[in-house]
Structure 1
Amino acid sequence: MSQHKIVSREEWTAARKALMVGEKQLTQAREALSRQRRELPWVKVDKDYVFDGPGGKVTLGDLFKGRPQLVVQHVMFAPEWDAACKSCSFWVDGFERMVPHLAARDTTMVAISRAPLAKLEAFKQRMGWSFDWVSSGENDFNYDYAVSFTPEQIDAGNAQYNYGTTPLYGPELPGISVFYRDDAGTVFHTYSTFARGLDMMNAAYHYLDLTPLGRHEEGLPYPMDWVRLRDQYQPAPVQASCCRS
């Protein structure tokens, strides 16, 4: 880390207020973009998706739990894997305790993966998670919402991730999809985001963005190389004291 300029409190406050101009511009731009997002057209969901849940078979409509809005976290967990993707788990740790707050605003949040329910339940217990997590292993949900890709799609060059703007780097990839259910029970797909579009949903990253070191990922093989499952981090090395007796 380069040596920072050390200034008086008055100089620091002036610099901080100057930065605030840009922060406010970003906030206003984000609010404008959120309005545009809400104004996107919708697509009616015609396929009858049935998932495996802890209480048995459930439909996409059932996942709303009587609320009009549903947010789906597509968690990378292929049927042959023994654990969910560490990076997806990093995001999941962040929303684990948000579920009741979202429910208070008419929104249900669930995780969906292709792994069998028994594996989802075992990993959920290991991580101490309490949100609803269902298996799409017996339907096309992951494929239809562009987070899983068949070998045939990949071989034919037809696998389009992030609307074709991000190179495909695996058959299982992350995403978030949003749905709305009207009073008649009709379900509509309203939004999906992938890749860097998921960034804003990770609170830990945005806390790091407030710090002098930031995300501190420069020089790593890939940005999230440092991420581990929450129970796999090793204790941080003890820093040598600057003062010795």
Structure 2
Amino acid sequence: MNAPTPRPVVTRDLWIAERKQLLGREKELTRLRDLVAQERRALPWVRLDDNAYVFDTPAGPRKLSELFQGKRQLLVQHFMFGPGWEQGCKSCSFMADHLDSMALHLAQRDIALLVVSRAPLADLEAFKRRMGWQFAWASSRGNDFNRDFHVSFAPADRVDGEVYYNFHMTPFPQEEAPGISIFCKDDDGQVFHTYSTFGRGVEVMMGSYNLIDLTPKGRDEAGLSYTMEWVRHHDRYESAAPAAAACCGGAKA
């Protein structure tokens, strides 16, 4: 790893003056974030056919409406783990590493967490045990959930090498892609899709990046073949070899 780029060394008073200038910009960003969140909550909803998606879970087949864990809102991580894969995507795993510590707090705001992948349930459960995760993970192998939400791509989905991802046609090298989707259930049990985010939008789940961004070196990803090349499965950091493919890291905004 490279050393931090040296910065001017100044007195405490001069540092405070510079810091106050930056604080003004940070407050602008906070206000903008609040405004965008308000606009996000105001988006219209799309009613889903609850019978369209039946997932494999450890408790047996379940419809989406049966996976809300007693809550009215459901946050789904679209986790890149396709049929026949040896393991889940390392960048999606980096995202998922943050989930268990957040679950209890999100539940207090009427939000349940669910991870969904196309790999068979047995493969998901085995990988989950290896990683030590506790969150709910369901397999969408037998339905079109992933394709309908544009995070899995069949050969027919590619047009001139591009697929529909992040709300536009774009090149994407993998058959699976990362994303986050939000669903809401009303008192009658009807399920609605309220929001999805892809590409760099999934960084909202990567709390580690927010802390890394506070440091002098920041993400320190310049010169890597793709932005998240440095990420490993958390049980592989000591012995990991350089990755051969970009996985979901380096997705464009």
- Which residue does 1:214 correspond to in 2? 218
Where do 5+ consecutive residues of structure 1 fail to align?
Answer: 236-245
**Counterpart amino acid of residue 37 in structure 1:** R
- Which residue does 1:183 correspond to in 2? 187
- State the superposition RMSD in angstroms: 1.6
Structure 1 residue 136: Cα displacement: 0.2
Distance 1:234 1:84, change over 3 A: same
**3-state SS of paired residue (1:98):** helix
Residue 9 in structure 1 maps to residue 3 in structure 2:
no
Contact preservation (8 Å) 2:162, 2:172: no
Distance 1:33 1:165, change over 3 A: farther
Structure 1 residue 169: Cα displacement: 2.6
- Which residue does 2:100 correspond to in 1? 96
In 2: Cα distance, 1:135 partner to 1:119 partner:
9
- Which residue does 1:120 correspond to in 2? 124
Residue 142 in structure 1 maps to residue 146 in structure 2:
yes
**3-state SS of paired residue (2:32):** helix
**Counterpart amino acid of residue 29 in structure 1:** L
**3-state SS of paired residue (1:6):** coil
In 1: Cα distance, 2:10 partner to 2:173 partner:
46
- Which residue does 2:176 correspond to in 1? 172
What does residue range 227-238 of structure 1 map to in structure 2 within 5 Å? Answer: 227-234=231-238
> Which sits farther off after the overlay, 39-48 or 113-122?
39-48
Contact preservation (8 Å) 2:162, 2:171: no
Which protein is bigger by CA-based radius of gyration? 1
What does residue range 182-201 of structure 1 map to in structure 2 within 5 Å? Answer: 182-201=186-205
**3-state SS of paired residue (1:61):** helix
- Which residue does 2:29 correspond to in 1? 26
Structure 1 residue 153: Cα displacement: 1.2
Where do 5+ consecutive residues of structure 2 fail to align?
Answer: 240-253
Residue 161 in structure 1 maps to residue 165 in structure 2:
yes
In 2: Cα distance, 1:79 partner to 1:226 partner:
25
Contact preservation (8 Å) 1:217, 1:224: yes
TM-score by length of 1: 0.93
**Counterpart amino acid of residue 146 in structure 1:** H
**How high is the sequence identity, in percent, across the aligned residues?**
51
In 2: Cα distance, 1:147 partner to 1:61 partner:
20
**3-state SS of paired residue (1:190):** strand
